[in-house]
A and B are shown apart, each in its own frame.
Chain A
Amino acid sequence: MGLTGGLKYPKLEDFEHPNIITTSADLVFNWARSHSVFPFTYGLACCAIEMLSSGFARFDIARYGMEVFRPTPRQCDLMIVAGTVNEKMAPVLKRLYDQMAEPKWVIAMGACATSGGPFYDGYNVVNGVDKVVPVDVYIPGCPPRPEALFQGLLELQKKIQKMSFVAPTAAAASGK
């Protein structure tokens, strides 16, 4: 796979205003961002146990360069919402999300963060964190195993690697 993890230089004609510098900058930035994601420790319930165990040696999230869990939103670019979001937590979660610096991503880990899960329609439960903040990757499971979290992180990597400083042309956006 090599150092760049399969990243390819975007073609000049993919861009509306072809520019050598931005094409290369995209590659470098996407490579750096996708391989050193700083997750925000947002453990709310039992999913947090799986998230934390994925940080330890047995599963070892460091293999993907994402082991630097931070307890402050200001040093993070990925919020892993691991657990049930309730009505009292929702405004707090929104505020912490707003405090994260761009670019930022959100993973909804487990059934609760995805849809409310087993507590769906409970009187104090928000039916999915996507009601509060935009979500990039949903991971099913109750709770998902660390391997499932890793698959979610790899999907997020693919998403990050498609980012660009310049707006792609309509043709490039449709994948032609």
Chain B
Amino acid sequence: MGIEIGSVRLSLDDLAARVAQEFAGELTDVSIQEPDTIVARLECSKLHPVARRLHDLAEIAYDSLNWIAAVDYRTHFESVYHLYSYATNTYLEVHVEVPRAKAVVETVCDIWPAADWHEREAWDMMGIRYEGHPDLRRILLKDDWIGHPLRKDYVDLAENHPNV
């Protein structure tokens, strides 16, 4: 069984309406971004079940995770999931707000295995902890690094630089 890219032909507006209807009360602020992207917000606590359903949707399944971005807005973090649907040939951006005081999000590794290294990078750079991740180690920096350098309030310590 091969996947035919774009086999489901829906206009972006119709698709956005269908996604909004399917996830009423879960995905909020659904908007479209021409030419091929739907943008939506999602509450942190609802992430895992909604992600599972997005992946398993009939016909228009968002079965591919392109990447996870982490953003520091100073007041809060955001974990952004960039999903792709082969059937409709469109993208879905899910913005998940993460409180600064308790930067913990549930992992989506079990849904999209591609999330593994992306979540490790977000943890390494931004300090967002992905609960349930099978192997949440630093991926780019040394294992004993202190702090998360892409946070806006990051302070570089001398301990991180033994070779000066």
Which residues on A are within 8 Å of B, measured CB to CB? 87-88, 90, 123-124, 126-127, 131-132
The reply to whether B163 and A126 contact each other, CB–CB distance below 8 Å, is: yes
The residue among B142, B149, B163 with the most chain A CB atoms within 10 A of its own CB is: B163
Task: Please classify the interface of chain A as helix (H, G, I), strand (E, B), loop, or mixed, using the class held by over half of its residues.
Answer: loop
**B164 interface residue per 8 A CB criterion:** yes
B163 touches A124 (CB 8 A): no
B160 CB within 8 Å of chain A: yes
Q: Is the CB of A123 within 8 A of B163?
A: no
Say whether B161 faces chain A, with CB atoms less than 8 Å apart: yes
Interchain CB contact under 8 A, B149 and A123: yes
User: For residue B149, which residues in chain A have a CB less than 8 angstroms away from its CB?
Assistant: 123-124
In the bound complex, residues from chain A placing their C-beta under 8 Å from that of B160 are 87, 123
B131 close to chain A: CB less than 8 A: no
Min CB gap A167→B, angstroms: 31
Chain B contacts of A126 at CB under 8 A? 161, 163
Q: Do the beta carbons of A132 and B163 come within 8 Å of each other? A: yes
Q: Which of A123, A127, A131 contacts B156 (CB 8 A)?
A: A123
User: Complex formed: what's the CA distance from A112 to B99 in Å?
Assistant: 38
The reply to whether B141 and A90 form a contact with Cβ atoms under 8 Å apart is no
- For B138, the closest partner residue in chain A by CB is A88
Within 8 A of A (CB), among B99-119: none
The docked-state distance in angstroms from the alpha carbon of A171 to that of B70 is 64
0 or 1 for each of B121-164: is its CB under 8 Å from A? (1 = yes): 00000000000000000001110010001000010100011111
- In the complex, A87 Cα to B164 Cα: how many Å? 10
Known contacts A123-B156, A124-B149; is-contact A90 B163 (Cβ 8 Å): yes
What are the residues of chain B within 8 A of A132 when measuring CB–CB? 163
Cβ of B163 and Cβ of A88 under 8 Å apart? no
Q: Shortest distance in angstroms between A96's beta carbon and chain B's nearest beta carbon?
A: 15
Of all chain B residues, the one with the shortest Cβ separation from A94 is B163
Complex CA–CA separation, A126 to B161 (angstroms): 8
> In the complex, A123 Cα to B147 Cα: how many Å?
11
Given A87-B160, A88-B140, A90-B162, list of 5 further CB < 8 A pairs? A87-B142, A87-B161, A88-B141, A127-B164, A131-B164
Inter-chain CA distance A124–B145, complex, in Å, is 10
Give the most central of A88, A123, A131, A132: most B CB within 10 Å: A123
CB-CB nearest in chain A for B149: A123
State the CA gap A131–B161 with chains docked (Å): 11
Chain B proximity of A151: nearest CB distance (Å)? 28
Contact of B140 with A124 in the complex, beta carbons under 8 Å: yes
Bound form: Cα–Cα A131–B162 in Å? 10
Contact residues in A for B162 (Cβ distance below 8 Å): 87, 90
Min C-beta distance of B134 to chain A, whole Å:
22
Q: Which B residues touch A131, using CB under 8 A?
A: 163-164
User: What are the residues of chain A within 8 A of B163 when measuring CB–CB?
Assistant: 87, 90, 126, 131-132
Q: How far is the CA of A8 from the CA of B23 in the complex (A)?
A: 84
Complex CA–CA separation, A131 to B154 (angstroms): 24
Beta-carbon nearest neighbor of A123 in chain B: B149
Chain B residues near A90 (CB, 8 Å)? 162-163
